[in-house]
A and B are shown apart, each in its own frame.
Chain A
Amino acid sequence: MTLELLKRITDSLVDGDPDATVEGTRLALDAGLAPLTIISDGLVPGMEVVGDRFQTGEYFLPHLIIAASGMQQAMELLEPELKQRHEVVQRLGTVVIGTVQGDIHEIGKTLVATLLSAAGFQVYDLGVNVSAAEFVSKVRETNAGLLGLSALLTTTMTAQRQVIDALREAGIRDRVKVMVGGAPVSQEWTETIGADGYAEDAVGAVALAKNLVS
């Protein structure tokens, strides 16, 4: 019975059915399963299958995002239970992410935020057109170890440098690793502005983030 409930949650993520993920999670809680078990033996294996299938080319971005969204919804359901039990999910790290000032492109940034969250990071997504000051203040407030800066345009990518400068001025540059991303961003640019890393796609960004916090 327990195994069946957990498998149902796993399958719902693999099948891209967030409603079924939520329903399965609710049933598992009602059946008395521990929230941490639901996460480790139901949700995480599902996300792993989806990730593997994406890597092999069998799955595409919509599969990835919809599974991540199912995972997020299930987590929202589990949070109060965890609080009540005084349990915490082991997070890989805390990330602040956003699209830099002057740029309102959010697809790439949201994609990275969703995948980081599904991978086990605590993610604070500040949205688009985020000023350097806002980034600095959120990093300080959350004590985040990672900061993700997205820019789609060659005209706005310079704002990534401004955020790094602002971190330095605020004296917190060494407390946070900075990842940059976006179509015009390259390894060369990353080095030029003194960022800690960049990835050319969302899946690469997750790998990079894991690397930077390890």
Chain B
Amino acid sequence: MRPKLNILSSELVEQIIAEAYELLMDPGVRVHNDEALQLLGDAGAPVDLQTKIARIPQQMAQNALETAPSEFHLYDLDGRPVVHYGGDSVQFDPGSAAITILDSDTQQQRVPLTADFVDFVKLVEMLPQIDAQSTAMICGDVPEEVGDLYRLYLALNFMRKPIITGAFRKDTWWVMKDMLVAVAGSADALIQRPIAVFDVCPSPPLLWSDLTCQNMIDCAKNGIPSELVSMPLSGATAPVTLAAAVVQHAAECMSGVTICQLAKRGAPIVWGGSPAAFDMREGTTPMGAVETWMIDCAYAQVGKALGMPTHAYLGMSDAKVVDAQCGLESAGGAFMAALAGVNMVSGAGMMDFESCQSFEKLVIDAEIIGMAKRLLAGVQAREQPIALDLMRKLGHRADYLAQPHTLKWFNKELYIPSAVIDRGSLDGWKKKGSKTATRRAADRVTELLANYHPPEISRELRRELRELTTDAARRFGMDELPPLPEVE
């Protein structure tokens, strides 16, 4: 039996869903996107073009939830289905779109550059605990207008795992799509074997910006999965009670699924989010708050009840350096998400709310993820009888280390951490330099980067990706991209 956390009673789930449907009609959803309003109006939703408020009938939303697929796979660049969105599958990717990096040498936050993100992508490739890449940081050495597609360009040159990404503009989405098509081989191949998911974020409460709504519609029409990132901030942009924040989340997601399915029936879309319990002293959005984790687990349960694949931003920390708070918050969120069966948990490496990425935190988080996945594998009988034969054979001899039974099972029973986790003796630890977890993590970063080998990517594909990116950069005043590390 797999351990499972259900944080809501089934009655509460039903009531949350019922109230969310009601919100879709009154006050309705404000949509700052003409195509979406057109789609909703054509389908029979009352739309006020003046206020841009659409009232979505329950039946329309229910139909959309019916036609949205309950599961789909993401493929790696070798064509293997390595990520399963659906059911209680649990997978992890790094937190995305950090605007700073915690510099390994100075332990100060600074603007990330091309080489930083390339190293980050390599690290993610090298960490088996992490299932997918994400466009994890925004590089400061290219124009802001191409910040989104430049990340994808860099990642595609160094990765094999699938990627969670997102666009910051309407026009750049198309360049990103062209890159993905180039890597997949054709538009059809990309539909058959998706390699990327685009995050699309409604604005709380109950509002869709033009940009993100268009990204979602374009994804749907082009067969690219999108991931709703609804982010009620309880007590600020959402009601303060956790249950009410979940109602708001559900209504926002339902509106997204409805617009998506009206754009293209059967388009894959994920019930996801990044809510937070507003901090009443600092006025911040803590990702390490237990109430944030509770809202996430609750909405995931609601999404599952509606048959949707799920996502959450969890496993992050509000700490400013890789310290005890950082470990505590990252582990708490990641374990809760795993137990709640969230299909894609985004957050590894991320700290200072959702603004900073750290290499050291990433490799520590990989250990947390390894342990969380071990927890999900549960306690299994393994053999029949479980213990009788073996224990009768050994009697009172403490000789289990020498038993073939031990050799056979220890590797499956135990998650064996890297040297980031210290389980040696005091003297052994001292001999290795009395290093803190952060220092050991820095050592592991160096080791992993030294062992990374770039994937085989044809010259033609590399050139095509570079041309697509350069064309876009030229439009915003950059004629030549920063050099790509190593591969050229």
What is the interface of chain A, defined by CB distance below 8 A to chain B?
Answer: 16, 18, 57, 60-63, 65-66, 69, 106-107, 110-111, 114, 183, 186-187, 200-201
Contacts and interface: CB of A to CB of B under 8 A. Distances in A.
A114 B427 CA distance: 23
What are the 7 A-B residue pairs with the smallest beta carbon separation, nearest first? A62-B407, A200-B425, A62-B406, A65-B402, A200-B428, A200-B427, A65-B401
A183 B425 contact: yes
A63 B407 contact: yes
A201 B402 contact: no
A6 to B, nearest CB: 23
B427 A187 contact: yes
Interface of B: 398-399, 401-402, 404, 406-407, 410-411, 416, 419, 424-428, 431
Nearest to B428: A200
Nearest to B406: A62
B401 A61 contact: yes
Contacts of B427: 186-187, 200
A148 B425 CA distance: 19
Contacts of B402: 62, 65-66, 69, 114
Contact of A107 (B398, B410, B428): B398
A186 B404 CA distance: 33
A69 B401 CA distance: 11
A200 B424 contact: yes
Contacts, number: 41
A114 B279 CA distance: 58
For the residues of A in contact with B, the DSSP-based class is helix
Contacts of B404: 16, 18, 66
B398 A106 contact: yes
A114 B431 CA distance: 25
Contacts of B428: 200-201
Nearest to A114: B402
Contacts of A201: 424-425, 428
A110 B416 CA distance: 23
A106 B398 CA distance: 7
A65 B402 CA distance: 5
Given A66-B407, A114-B402, 4 more contacts: A57-B419, A65-B401, A110-B401, A200-B428
Contact of B401 (A18, A57, A107, A186): A107
Nearest to A204: B428
A60 B407 CA distance: 9
A97 to B, nearest CB: 16
Contacts of A16: 404, 407
A186 B427 CA distance: 7
Nearest to A19: B404
A200 to B, nearest CB: 4
Contacts of B424: 200-201
B202 to A, nearest CB: 47
12 contacts: A57-B419, A62-B402, A62-B407, A63-B407, A66-B402, A66-B407, A107-B398, A110-B398, A200-B425, A200-B427, A200-B431, A201-B424
Contacts of A106: 398
A187 B407 CA distance: 33
A110 B407 contact: no
Contacts of A187: 427
A18 B404 CA distance: 9
Contacts of A57: 419
